[in-house]
Structure 1
Amino acid sequence: MKKVIVFGAGRVAGPAIRTLLERGHQVTVMDPVLERARRHVGDHPLGRAVQGDALIDGPALIESDPPDILVSLLPVALAVPAIELSVRYGISQVCPIYLNTARHLEDQIRRSGVTVLGEVGLDPGIDHISAARTIHNIHAEGGQVESFWSVCGSLPDHTANNNPLGYKLTWAPESLVGASVRDAVIVKNQKQVFYPRGETFRHYTLEEIQGLGWFEVYANADSTPYIQQYGMPEAKDVFRGTLRFPGWCDFVVATNSLGLYGQKKMSLEGVTFAGLVRQLAGAPAEAPVHDAVASFLGLPSHGLVLKQMEWLGLFDDRNIPISEGGPRDVLTCLFYEKLLLLPEERDLVVMQHRYRVFYPETRRTVLRISTLVERGGAGKETAIARTTGIPFGIGADLILSGRVQEKGLIGPTVPSINDPMLEQLEEMGIRFSDTEIEMD
């Protein structure tokens, strides 16, 4: 029996913890909210819930009962300190961190003799292992990947898509706000195209996913490392992006232009939402907030974006419920109020890869399309929890079983993880459907 410590018992923790318990591992879950940890462990004889802060109380827990592996489900901001715990105690770890953000720790991880498996989950995670396998198969058939297009979205199911933003949160609002001002890089005609600080939302396209309808698609983070990671140096176009229902991108552009993603702290005592928005728009206190924002942004006062802002509560004459913070914190408050997926509502996960493939021997060009669609919620596990959490459990189990021999900082596309994880996900019902279209 192997021992596992899981740090964090948030929205995606349940499927990860259950996967580990079902495989006979002893699992201790640490979270600042004890009831949250207990909910995921239940009365399983191999499970234990502990209250504590991973970075403050985690070392004592590790020292009192050393585990064989750590699973970090902590927020992104705490991912690097969690990896430092693995280095300090010589214990392998599975975590969601983007590999590029942990490169400065790579030598320390290697010297400590541990395995740190990053980019595990849905996106990043399942996107990597599914794409890497397909590209390997294309090359084995003698094909060349001319272009690669990959998108993913965690959305409300159509039955729960009932607000003007077309979006509901199944993950932390803080992460959504942070992602709205992230840089993005794609490759077009073998040249890099850079979108700084949320500019990607100005360059969205409309794309149809067969059977699901039309979505906005915008570039997400840096696509360039995956040319090497997926082994497709011949690709002329590489795009990794995010799916949203129509109306989201213009809202993000407008709120970003207004300064609502700013982090500069200020006193918010006695400040109303409308008052803060007037201030950001440079309008006097007596100005109608709706007209002030329309004028500042150069938008029609009757347009959708202004109506979205009004619905969210940005024009409300009520006090902001925090005494200090930046505009980003205020926007996060409203997301918590208005955008959380309710327990009785269903969510939707959509992932699609498109590969334009050229076969030199036959001079054929085909478009391969792989699509993953998962629905959840309505009193059961959400689709995002299932597709994000289960890969953590599988990844940790593969390391504990000795099937992963690689040491250092690695991603899920290494052969010892890629195929076994994808096969196990398929056995659990998480699988892609594939189609192929002949191109002229």
Structure 2
Amino acid sequence: MKQVLIIGLGRSSSVLIEYFLEYSKVNNTKITLLDQHQNDYTKTIKNTSLCSLIFFDIYDEIKRRNEIKKSHLVISMLPPRFHTLIAKDCIYFKKNLITASYVSDEMFLLDSEAKKANILILNEIGLDPGIDHISAMKIIDSLNDSGANILSFKSFCGGLIAPESSNNPWDYKFTWNPRNVVLAGKDGSKYLKDGSIKELKYNEVFTNTEKITIPQYGDFESYANRNSLNYIKKYNLENINTLVRGTLRRPGFCPSWDVLVKSGLTSFDEIDMKSVKTKYEELINKNDNKLIQNNLEYLDLFNSDENIKFNSPGDFLQSKLEKKWALSKNDKDMIVMQHKFEYELNNINYRLTSSMVLIGSDDIKTAMAKTVGLPVFFAAKQILEDKTSLKGVKIPVHKELYSPILKSLEDEGISFIDSIEEI
């Protein structure tokens, strides 16, 4: 019997766990779920009789290593800072590992050790990163096979609230880790535009946006996400002129968030809240944009003295947002993704647009949980059933991974609509 260890039972794990429990019924597989907080998981785990549920601090080395040693495959759904710790144990015990997170510098350095241990450490196989990679690589490989010269690639993704559940001026609610939302853009961004490298500092990210239109769902705005330059080589696009990866929000979100950034409210450093409040009020008074004013007034940030209870402005802001942007029981979230390619073929220039929209079922079976969890699940199946020969620290840009995973996602209703036009 093969054993799978899933570490981290947060809001993005519900669909992954559901599918694994069904898989275990017919595939002689034992599922162990590990978290450090003994909360009520009855909403996310419907049938606990099909799995082992254990709780302990992930820093408890003896218990952690014992569980990893017993497993055939480890899946970490923890925050990224824990992945390297788990990866080192997986290398020691020669166990395959999957995460949905970006490959950190520390993780990348484990590549040669993972290869020596003859294991696969697969990262970036959630939604973004994840579905963006596998859907883009299918198009890139197809265009390259046709002899096309790819000139530009822009990729956008956003986890938002479905139109029917949007009842606040930001058109946004939390569907994943709130801390990550508050920290978004903190490291700035880098991308390639018209052959030139563009680099934005944190206080520039949310003022440099691009309008995106999704058929049937209207307009969005996109801000550049992290370091897009890293993907030029990974996507085999060394001759491209433009490559940018961006995050989608509804119009008005980014300029409103920019006020919070520039006032210091998104900082998790110990900063005097009086100075932050003064800066915030100064920025609001100078801003005459009604949409921005309405968004910020809705947050109702400084109408009490409750900010004194928090260690940092970021903690204070996150606490406020968790109340204002909480999913209600019947709320539905929405995932939006769009790729835009420009390429030359037979002396004619084309634009290929590939779009995907998925609406969640409720506040538990969210579109976010589905689009993060299902790619992880289908990648895990490839490993458990010995259908991939890849070893080392990888992301899913290889056809032997992305092709079957994409097909499985399509069977679950996660698919793209493509259109091509001459330009």
Report the TM-score, using the length of structure 1 for normalisation: 0.89
Aligned to 2:361: 377
Residue identity in the other structure for 2:284:
A
1:142–1:74 Cα change, 3 Å: same
| Partner SS state of residue 329, structure 2 | coil
Residue identity in the other structure for 2:393:
L
| Partner SS state of residue 99, structure 1 | coil
Aligned to 2:333: 347
Offset of 1:159 from its aligned partner? 1.3
Aligned to 2:294: 307
2: CA distance, partners of 1:330 / 1:197? 20
Identity, in percent, stands at 27
Offset of 1:63 from its aligned partner? 4.7
1:328 maps to 2:307: no
What is the count of residue pairs matched by the alignment? 418
Aligned to 2:14: 14
1:357–1:293 Cα change, 3 Å: closer
Residue identity in the other structure for 1:23:
Y
Aligned mate of 1:294, from 284, 308, 311: 284
Aligned to 1:403: 387
Offset of 1:266 from its aligned partner? 5.9
Offset of 1:107 from its aligned partner? 3.1
CA contact (8 A) 2:338 2:353 kept: yes
Aligned to 1:286: none
CA contact (8 A) 1:20 1:397 kept: no
Aligned mate of 1:151, from 143, 148, 156: 156
Aligned mate of 1:68, from 66, 69, 72: 72
| C-alpha RMSD of matched pairs (Å) | 2.2
CA contact (8 A) 1:186 1:224 kept: yes
Aligned to 1:91: 95
Note the residue ranges of structure 1 that are not aligned, 5 or more in a row. Answer: 268-275, 284-288
1:390–1:57 Cα change, 3 Å: farther
Offset of 1:428 from its aligned partner? 1.6
2: CA distance, partners of 1:266 / 1:130? 42
1:48 maps to 2:34: no
Aligned to 1:415: 399
Aligned mate of 1:319, from 293, 306, 315: 306
Q: Deviations over 1:157-195 (max 9, x none)?
A: 111222122211101110101114232111012221111
Aligned to 1:239: 244
1: CA distance, partners of 2:68 / 2:314? 40
CA contact (8 A) 1:343 1:377 kept: no
1:80 maps to 2:87: no
CA contact (8 A) 1:59 1:85 kept: no
Residue identity in the other structure for 1:203:
N
Aligned to 2:255: 250
Offset of 1:365 from its aligned partner? 1.6
What are the within-5 Å matches in structure 2 for residues 110-259 of structure 1? 110-259=115-264
CA contact (8 A) 1:348 1:374 kept: yes
Residue identity in the other structure for 1:385:
A
Offset of 1:215 from its aligned partner? 0.7
